[in-house]
Amino acid sequence: MASTTRRNFLALTAVALAGGSVAGCSIIGGAGDALTDSESSETVAPLDKSRTLVAYFSVPETVDPNNMTEDEENSTHVVDGKVLGNTQYLAQIIEERTGAEVFRIETAEDLPLDHGTLEDLALKQQETNARPKLKALIPNLEEYDTVFIGYPIWWYDLPMPMYTFLEQHDFSGKNIILFSVHGGSRLSGTDRTITEKLSDSSVIKNALTISRGDMGNAEAQVSDWLDSLGQ
């Protein structure tokens, strides 16, 4: 009953945020086209690519580029016939632009690719404040000065595996740069959550968030954002 009540509340909230769109029931909200949640033009020192890491969490709901459902299309972007998760695609663009190393955040137990099943699991984990076990931690985090952290917005929050990731690494003294994909709720306060959790690091205020419906323009948006960071 508690789950149903919360689901109904979140769905109604999503409809209000998305102007009545039924897509608001998605784990990543309704449609939208925001670029950033910050008015800051904060820049960072030029990056040393050997000291820069891009860590991201992404769950594409299919690996088949053909005959996708609407939910599968919403979670993916196809590049040269290869299916990438939306956040994975942003991470790839940042990698290509900065020359940074890349680390994919994955759960120890494979997540379901069926949208409804994944949606239910994501909500259950959030309601129970779960900390899903990760497949691996960053083995050499001490070698990096700057870490880009990327994630989708699920149920107006970080996916719960991201909490595991943040709590099981020591980011003290590092520069943290955030990027995300949303479905209408923008950063949804996740930048503040991460800033509070990583209080011993420097979280850059100029975070990037791109709508899942705007992936076709993501390369230009990421490039403009990196320019705004001084990169």
Convert the pLDDT of each residue in 198-231 to its tens digit: 999 999 999 999 999 999 999 999 999 999 998 8
In a domain, 13, yes or no: no
CA distances from 99 to 49, 115, 124, 145, 182 (A): 5, 33, 37, 14, 25
Mean of pLDDT values over 49-63: 95
Residue of 128, 105, 121 lying closest to 27 (CA atoms): 121
Kindly give the residue spans of alpha helices, DSSP state H, lying in 99-202: 115-127, 160-167, 190-197
Backbone angles phi, psi at 62, to 5 degrees: -160, 160
Residue 5 is predicted with a pLDDT of 42
15 within some domain:
no
**In a domain? residue 6:** no
Rounded-to-5 percentages of helix, strand, coil across the chain: 40, 20, 40
pLDDT tier at 81 (50, 70, 90 boundaries)?
confident
List Cβ neighbours of 49 (8 Å cut-off, separation of 6 or more). 98, 99, 100
Let me know if residue 7 belongs to a domain: no
Where does residue 119 fall: left (phi above 0), alpha (psi -120 to 50 degrees), or beta otherwise?
A: alpha
Amino acid in the structure at residue 101: E
**Residues 90-145: tens digit of each pLDDT:** 999 999 999 999 999 999 999 999 999 999 999 999 999 999 999 999 999 999 99
CATH number at residue 72: 3.40.50.360
Look at residue 16 and tell me if it is in a domain: no
What pLDDT was estimated at residue 161?
98
Residue 14 included in any domain: no
- The pLDDT value given to residue 37: 46
CA 166 to chain CA centroid, nearest Å? 13
Lowest average pLDDT, out of 77-86, 87-96, 149-158, goes to 77-86
For the residues 36-56, what does the mean pLDDT come to? 79
* Nearest in space to 150 (alpha carbons), one of 55, 214, 85, 60: 55
Mean pLDDT in residue range 30-44: 52
Residue from 30, 75, 57 nearest 161 by CA:
57
Whether the predicted pLDDT of 7 surpasses 60? no
Tally of structural domains, the chain: 1
Cα separation, 225 vs 106, whole angstroms: 26
Does residue 65 lie in a domain region?
A: yes
Indicate whether 78 pLDDT > 50. Answer: yes
Q: What is the pLDDT of residue 8?
A: 45
Confidence at 27, pLDDT banded by 50, 70, 90: low
Looking at the domain assignment, is residue 180 inside a domain? yes
Domain residues for the domain of 77 are 28-228
Indicate the average pLDDT of the chain: 85
Residues 182 and 209: beta-carbon distance below 8 Å: yes
Instruction: Give percent of the chain above pLDDT 70.
Output: 82
